[in-house]
Amino acid sequence: MTVPSLPGCISEGNTFEEAFANIKEAMALYLESLAADRRPIPRETRLVVEIESPSGQTTRR
């Protein structure tokens, strides 16, 4: 999974649930890092997560 509004924020998992839990943690750590570096935090009104299946197809949710 990737979060397009947070470049480089990626995660994986053996199941959708695991990958989703991992991406939520990755997002939290990414935002903490931005805040610690006093960098702007993106102000999104909608979360888009891209999911790549094992076949290589990408789905947006």
- Please check whether residue 2 lies inside any domain of the structure: no
In-domain check, residue 52: yes
Plot region of 44 (φ>0 → left; ψ -120 to 50 → alpha; else → beta) = beta
Max CA distance (Å), the chain: 39
Rounded percentage of the chain residues whose pLDDT exceeds 90: 34
Residues paired with 58 in a beta bridge: 52
Report pTM: 0.73
pLDDT per position as a tens digit, 3-28: 888 888 988 888 888 988 999 999 99
Residue 28 domain-assigned (yes or no):
yes
* Domain assignment present for 25: yes
Q: How many domains does the chain have?
A: 1
Owning domain of residue 42: 16-60
